[in-house]
Amino acid sequence: MKTAVPQRLTFSNGFTLTEMAVVLVIVALLIAGLVIPFSAQQDIRARQETERMLSDIREALLGYAAANGRLPCPATAASNGLEDPVGGGVCTSAHGGFLPSGTLGIAPINSNGFAVDTWNQPIRYAVSNSNASAFTTANGMRAATITVLAPDLQVCPGQVASPVSNAGAANATCNGTALSTTAVAVIYSLGRNGGTGGAGTDESHNPNPNSGVAADRAFISHLETPSSAPQGEFDDVVIWLSPNILYSRLIAAGQLP
């Protein structure tokens, strides 16, 4: 009788449980590093939505100009979302006002009648008062003629110790190369910290609850930076209106020349 000899146990080549555990830990760490925190995702979505809102507002301003031959004046703190003065002309606060949502028919609005961004803060609006306020006066642009019109709002890139020369004065200009020196209007959101306004060098120049200077014709616009940046936190969302786009719309609408 032949005795059965047990076969030798063998293991196929592959990972041991310990090795598999190490791999899973590494994969988990990699995934965790790629996942954006929920709060950061919310901020990104809010910023993108606000950018879309500002673009829509710029179109509304162009539509208003095409229909009325002028841009509206900014609203003021006491004007309930209407331009001030109603009917345009010399604006009460050309550089430090709010979007005239009531005049433009824009929503959503807050209890004071101001259009708000995705952080529920009032959207800001400034308009050039050059050429004797021609841009906000009925038939003012037609009377002045395109060749003479000289919008003068400045959009500065900031991120330097002194981003604006003559800050707070009528002749404020960008230090260094400007993003624009001929903007007709500037529309902007104060961002996530809009309730109090940032204290950084750049944010404090744009009119906000914590502004360091009187409103002038210069505005700061650049990518978002944290509070640890050399010039401090900046999360304003800023766009502006080119005179060439405005003139094109007005010519097409028969408001110019």
Q: What would the two tokens of residue 168 be?
A: 């707070």
Instruction: Report the mean per-residue pLDDT for the chain.
Output: 88
Distance, CA of 32 to CA of 8 (rounded, Å): 44
Domain ranges of the chain: 39-252
The per-residue pLDDT for 240 is 98
Element of type H or E holding 144 = helix 140-144
Pairing of strands 180-183, 153-156: antiparallel
* pLDDT reading at 12 higher than 60: no
pLDDT grade for 19, boundaries at 50, 70 and 90: confident
Q: Give pLDDT, residue 87.
A: 95
pLDDT in tens, 119-146: 999 999 999 999 999 999 999 999 999 9
Q: Alpha-carbon distance 122 to 109, whole Å?
A: 8
Higher pLDDT, 98 or 194: 98
CA-to-CA separations, 38 to 44, 194, 196, 226, 251, in angstroms, rounded: 10, 21, 24, 18, 47
| Global confidence as pTM | 0.82
**Higher pLDDT residue, 224 or 71?**
71
